[in-house]
Amino acid sequence: MRGILMLALLMLSACQHVSTPPPVVGEIRDLRSGQTLTAEELVAQLGTTSRLIVGEQHDNRDHHELQLWLLQSLGERRAQGSLLLEMLTPDQQPRVDDVRHASTPPADLPSALAWQSGWDWNLYGPIVRFALTQPYPLLAANLDTLEVRAVYANPPTLSGLRSNAASVKDELLKQVSDSHCGLLPKSQMPAMLAVQQQRDRRMAERLLAAPAPSLLIAGAYHARKDVGVPIHVLDLGEPQAPMVLMLAEQGSEVTPAIADYVWYTPATPPQDYCAQMRKQFGK
């Protein structure tokens, strides 16, 4: 009898997924039900979805630490199919693939990947280094510089009712203006909007083509259910939108229209990027 009991306990232990505690303390909410979740409950629910988008605040270190923890914790539950990054472009993909298949890692990984200086390597490096050691592919999800220039010079027609809705374009125009501190001339706004939406469309295309279960890490507006990649996934004919987990600082508001789950992290001191931008524009 004791032997049977011990066997049952061992089997139960094997079936449980005990992850390392998350590196950041914060409130996690299922926005669909309004329930508060533990980190383990969140991972259990996210582990059942085939496509997941994690939205971030680019300069928030807590968000990057949580992304790495999530990627590792999800991998403990089931085999990960792919990881996609907004921070990688198509012209970098051959470099990423070469590093993945190299017998020894390069001494200077950022240079080997042609990592763009606009993305703080100190924040993204741990995620990239981990992903490059895994059996699943690390995939570029963004437009490259030449593509951005082409879209800016001659904005293409975007197909799809959802992504062309006036409410979507108005919200994105406001975000583009705010992110540039209101300093962009109105004449540039349509082209900037086109670049934003073509980036969303590219991420949606790459997410649909990636081996599942797939995880896309992108900025908050790209991740949003109401204006970002998810509506492009639907406009491309996919019947179900990806699951969205938004990482957000305490004090911000994330609604069910924006994400399926939110993980609120401690607020950080605000950075005055507008002062730097006004100086750049000579304002």
Beta bridge partners of 139: 84
* Residues paired with 140 in a beta bridge: 85
- Residue 225 in any domain: the answer is yes
Domain extent for 205:
20-281
Sheet architecture: strand order including 138-140: 35-37, 27-30, 261-265, 243-249, 51-56, 214-219, 82-85, 138-140
Rounded to 5 degrees, φ, ψ at 121 are -60, -30
Q: What is the dihedral of CA 90, 94, 97, 99, to 10 degrees?
A: -120
CA atoms of 115 and 249, how far apart (whole Å)? 27
Number of Cβ within 10 Å of residue 242's Cβ equals 23
The count of other CB atoms within 10 Å of the CB of residue 129 is 12
Name the token pair of 277.
């931008």
Asked whether residue 6 is assigned to any structural domain, the reply reads: no
Asked, for residue 10, whether it belongs to a domain, the answer is no
Cis preceding linkage at 266, omega within 30: no
**The two three-digit tokens of residue 168, written as one number:** 């979507």
How many other C-beta atoms are found inside a 10 Å radius of the C-beta of residue 247?
27
CATH number at residue 217: 3.40.50.11550
* pTM of the model as a whole: 0.90
Task: Quick: pLDDT tens for 9-38.
Answer: 333 333 445 469 999 989 999 999 999 999
Q: Is residue 14 domain-resident?
A: no
- In the chain, the number of structural domains is 1
Angle ∠(264,267,272) on CA atoms, nearest 5: 130
Q: Within a domain: residue 13?
A: no
Q: Note whether residue 116 is domain-resident.
A: yes
Residue 135 domain-assigned (yes or no): yes
Going residue by residue through the chain (283 aa), what tens digit of pLDDT does each one get? 444 433 333 333 334 454 699 999 899 999 999 999 999 999 999 999 999 999 999 999 999 999 999 999 999 999 999 999 999 999 999 999 999 999 999 999 999 999 999 999 999 999 999 999 999 999 999 999 999 999 999 999 999 999 999 999 999 999 999 888 887 888 899 999 999 999 999 999 999 999 999 999 999 999 999 999 999 999 999 999 999 999 999 999 999 999 999 999 999 887 766 766 566 656 5
